[in-house]
Structure 1
């Protein structure tokens, strides 16, 4: 859907966009010449003193922002101080979004932001704002969408230039420190060009900002206006399975990508495993097993320490991007455990055990909880901490054992990039470093060394791997991002709890419980009911997002399933109540960020990408709670969310793999069961046939016709049951369904809706315009326009809501006998 809307608005932007070729300096050669001379003499970082500069990021408590606290750039964190300064000085904002383990973010910090000459230009012409994408995923998402609209590309660093009111007018990723024919115009050139444009042609930049905002609003409308479809999770699962299998690489596993890059795509693999569990589709299981084998054998799998790198840069899984992310490892732990449960392959048990122990050793805080990521680079060189040469292995294992070891493990050379500004791992005695992986085809490797199964073969080489690992641990280590993000910890807690049950490893469950208890004590405020997004250095900070509440709640329910301890259900229910109050929309859908978080525009989730979305995890939490307690409020909220997204699930089930998986693992009860539960637990009386509750059960209409001086008027009386309300016309927000009166075959001259009242609740603290009790809608018709008509047919559309839930909207028919007036 995003691609469709982006394509739809490109023509709109093209009229006002400043092209990169213009920015390259065609209009300002004298500026470019001077900047090139300055850059040539400045070096990478002329500053000799380690802390010669200190900016406002020093007061933050975020590891990524602190990395930039001593840049000569006058960085500000995202917030009102920077925005007020931009407005006061009438300067554009340079917004740079990255994260601690982002390779190109480190390159930019070294080559651009540490350069005093470039920093001088940034400080003179712009207000500079740094954002950690993991601390503020809401800000990152909006401006990533803006960049995709403007350039067609994404990724980090995500750099944009904004008007003082935060509207983007120029965007890109990594900018080189000087003009380069391969990499494009240098950052000083771009700064000078945009500064001159701001001074001399500001209206054009402001126009681009307005066009981008128009595009974002259209995207918002498209994402909230996807329509509904019959709720059929089994059909959605089958459709998603068939689509994913059509994209499967039968030789090397994974989902094929035109670029050759391969990500684990854990949510989609989990969907295929669920399909096999429920439907025994042979290809679903074999595709997952082929992929898990290929990942386990490849360089994306850390063959010595365990755990997995971020993704493979080529199709064979041999050459990874070396970041190690908590969410990847948590999901792959769960996948290998579940695959072992289904396929009984000893290799999968060993990989799962190894991955859990890697998490405990390298990513777990001493007091409990899990860190976010391990960096890809060391001193600017990608993968430097993980690479080996043939000579190094011989020197450690000895010639004979090294020959035996290297008959099982191969060394894949790390491709050397000619892109400027990239450091490369150093050769050892003239030998280029390489990536360790298992040799394939694995059947031939087993035959060559005389083993019957892979797990047994790997066990035989455990001492060799330990010897290499002991040497590797003495090397400098890539940096670790030690903030604990609640949503990512939720994934990890659930994975450890469930893998501990499957593999009979109580220790794993203990690690999960320790993390859950620590996050509950640090990140959740029991007095206010608020959950914080992250913990760093023992301090909880940043208001939690939908994904945080939902992920931690689902993790608590996983602990309930494994331990039987009711405290986890109690905590999960508290989080669910807060989640519904803070992020639930009246139509049943979810906001992803709290309405007071200061983002430019609120956009809902668009699917399950590298991990389950907040919306999918919210549905999972609600259905788990309903299964455990049979409380109707949880079922109603889940059902409403599914109904709102049913059109999306029908059209793009593969994009919502986690939601579809949940809906098949925890099926929605039938309409008859739902109504019976509602009657038993909430006191809301269901209709006599026990069909699904709808707005028509709490809204009644009646109509009459009367003469008025200039014609006729039809008065429609709408009665709303106590404790319910319906939306006013116009509704307070585009995504709400207004109360509306329509007629068939005739058109009134005017429809007058009554004055609304203001309604506030936890899901709408800013207030909504609604109707309560009995109201009248008056439609007037010109004199003589109803002559010859016996009766008029019409309908009122309304959606009934309480303080906690909204029922499905209803269309309430009316029939007016005109001749009887």
Structure 2
């Protein structure tokens, strides 16, 4: 066995590539192919992002059999680029790389080039983002992956510059290096790709169905971590590795729910963050609505794309926060967000476009940037002076005279304390209208008009909720109109099939789990608002079809329809930026169970949650939408919450995706004051103590980092994989360790060193702290002996 099957970072891959072959370029550049076609294989696509690339000199293919067959027939690697229409760096790459005839010639000669819109194919996006996280421990778009013809990744990155910089090789150099390695060292490339594929398979395996379902412990662990991460200076929930701030609507909604359950610190953290976001450049101070995220902790400098999914969720959160606190600033922000949705994203059919791009004319944020002189020219000196008493310009690029509007923080916070924030904003409404009118005369960023079912469902739900909370019938009517359109156009009652997207008037690919679950949730929200039985019936029909299409025999819910063309299962996502399909599905199942009293909905929810339990327990803060559901009345009615000590993920697993660390596959429980039981996930094993060979990591109890003497380890099993026919001493299932008498200091410093493996792959090893029980553990009953 090998302790680690993937490189520790991008620099390791570059070093390997350089060591395997010398980089080379043709002295005068590679000549373009004799005739560049006017269109490529994307010309028949109806997806807006793919259409934008249909005239690139790169011979792009959409994902599908034609491209995959070509790669296998020609024995060429695949260059897979995953992006989306509002992604700024995706368009930079198009201008600098894909429209460059010399670079396109290299790509066409040496690779089969495949372009994917992540909003059209989230399953492909999730699979190869997992590869990115394993290989580089980062994420983002574009996600550019070099694959073997068997779709196994062997090199990955994001934006590649056309020429070398101090930080990166130029893209032509990288292409030449990868081509030379593929043609001269194919066995080594395939070996590395197979190891990465094994790590991906292991990380995507479902959790232990026998892991305890403990919502109370999960909630307490997540709340403790969230409050620890809360930035009391700027708002938001800080990451230790990034200055960027994302709104994280599911987390904010859950924190409000915790506040409603009697946790005032959670309410404060959520409301403070919502107010900070509304003051910053993250919010469009002229037109309302929110940008994708901010690059700084103060929410001042945004990435300028505006997404339907973000704004729908934030409308719901602000409306809920207002209902809970009755603070007028939260009401004002909810109203402005709703107006943005109806004004800028609503299509003539009544449903909603997916996104507005970040750039105009190749410049990020160009439409939204101002200079002081420009504002003076629109408003005149006197009104501009009143405007700048509240507002300021924050430069986006060093040395630039232009900037993005935000509120002066000290002034805004003073107004909030005095209860005058909304009044001041209303006083400045004439200036705001004048500036917005002037901005509307500028060139505008592109809008992606494709209709994504799950995103529209979140908008329907948010508008229905906001309409009720804000007592605004126009919002409810907008929700009803969009909901009816989805039922009439996206749902096929004969096939009981929901469509994932519409683009250019054409039906797209079949729906994913979150499409079914989110639309059903939206219909149940309308049922609550309108007391109309048709919405409940539609929700029931969708959920029945959802279970038929996505439920596995063990009850777990797949994220995507099964496909022979995908080499890996779609990994679980959690609820960091939006609810996962699994969380949304469990929520709607529990609500149907509560509404109808029918036990089969509750049973389906239990079966769906059970395989998630191990992952949720390992990282509960990644699942706030699920935690909110489990803490609701519907959730409490179905799931008991035994008081158990939750386990916090060890520090040496930080940065690894769920399921890729050994601590994700092993649990430790106290059976008595001198006995521990290890629970090992199905299909996995851990090395016994002593280990068969010195290079294997023996499972060892540690105190202060040193092996604890006197532990009685159980006898091993003999595991005979293909690479070790002589056998390896392992443990599987549940094993019990008998401890010597421990002092309080030893008990507090106790940890387990472990590495989990399956038949082909070993996960990253981990040292798992073992939380000392607050009281003496229970004595074992007769059936709790060794297993």
Band of TM-score, shorter chain:
0.7 to 0.9
Alignment of 1:153 onto 2:147: no
Alignment of 1:38 onto 2:29: yes
- SS of 2:154's partner is strand
Report if aligned partners of 1:407, 1:445 keep a CA contact under 8 Å in 2.
no
1:725 aligned partner: none
- Please tell me the root mean square deviation across aligned C-alpha atoms, in Å: 2.9
Report if aligned partners of 1:608, 1:655 keep a CA contact under 8 Å in 2.
yes
Q: How does 1:83-482 map to 2 (within 5 A)?
A: 83-182=68-167, 184-221=168-205, 223-225=206-208, 227-229=210-212, 231-258=213-240, 259-278=242-261, 280-416=262-398, 432-442=401-411, 446=415, 452-482=419-449
Q: Which runs of 5+ in 1 are unaligned?
A: 1-7, 418-426, 674-732, 736-744, 750-812, 815-821
In the TM superposition, what is the alpha-carbon distance from 1:403 to its structure 2 partner?
0.7
- SS of 1:57's partner is coil
Mapped to 1, the partners of 2:419 and 2:619 lie a distance apart of 42
Q: Which structure exhibits the higher relative contact order, with contacts defined as CA atoms closer than 8 Å and separated by 6 or more residues?
A: 2
Deviations 1:377-430 (Å, cap 9, x if unpaired)? 11221111101111011111110110111011111111349xxxxxxxxx6xxx
Deviations 1:719-754 (Å, cap 9, x if unpaired)? xxxxxxxxxxxxxx979xxxxxxxxx99999xxxxx
Mapped to 2, the partners of 1:348 and 1:131 lie a distance apart of 38
Mapped to 1, the partners of 2:193 and 2:20 lie a distance apart of 23
- SS of 2:116's partner is strand
When structure 1 is superposed on structure 2, of 10-19 and 286-295 the one drifting more is 10-19
In the TM superposition, what is the alpha-carbon distance from 1:112 to its structure 2 partner?
0.3
- SS of 1:467's partner is helix
In the TM superposition, what is the alpha-carbon distance from 1:9 to its structure 2 partner?
6.7
Alignment of 1:530 onto 2:497: yes
Q: How does 1:549-628 map to 2 (within 5 A)?
A: 549-596=516-563, 598-628=565-595
Greater gyration radius:
1
User: TM-score scaled to structure 2, two decimals?
Assistant: 0.78
Deviations 1:460-513 (Å, cap 9, x if unpaired)? 000100000000000001111111111111111110001100110111111111
- SS of 2:86's partner is coil
Mapped to 2, the partners of 1:262 and 1:445 lie a distance apart of 23
Deviations 1:304-341 (Å, cap 9, x if unpaired)? 00000111100111111111111111111111111111
Structure 1 residues 16 and 622, CA gap change in structure 2 (3 angstroms): closer
> Deviating runs (4+, > 6 A) in structure 1?
14-18, 745-749
Mapped to 1, the partners of 2:115 and 2:561 lie a distance apart of 21
Mapped to 2, the partners of 1:320 and 1:463 lie a distance apart of 25
In the TM superposition, what is the alpha-carbon distance from 1:646 to its structure 2 partner?
3.0
Count the aligned residue pairs.
648
Report if aligned partners of 2:350, 2:485 keep a CA contact under 8 Å in 1.
yes
Structure 1 residues 192 and 632, CA gap change in structure 2 (3 angstroms): same
In the TM superposition, what is the alpha-carbon distance from 1:18 to its structure 2 partner?
7.7
Mapped to 1, the partners of 2:466 and 2:158 lie a distance apart of 39
Q: Which runs of 5+ in 2 are unaligned?
A: 641-681, 685-713, 719-781
Alignment of 1:19 onto 2:13: yes
Mapped to 2, the partners of 1:283 and 1:407 lie a distance apart of 32
Report if aligned partners of 2:390, 2:412 keep a CA contact under 8 Å in 1.
no
In the TM superposition, what is the alpha-carbon distance from 1:209 to its structure 2 partner?
1.4
Mapped to 2, the partners of 1:238 and 1:746 lie a distance apart of 37
In the TM superposition, what is the alpha-carbon distance from 1:588 to its structure 2 partner?
2.0
In the TM superposition, what is the alpha-carbon distance from 1:11 to its structure 2 partner?
4.5
Mapped to 2, the partners of 1:246 and 1:163 lie a distance apart of 43
Mapped to 1, the partners of 2:230 and 2:514 lie a distance apart of 29
In the TM superposition, what is the alpha-carbon distance from 1:227 to its structure 2 partner?
4.7
Structure 1 residues 197 and 295, CA gap change in structure 2 (3 angstroms): same
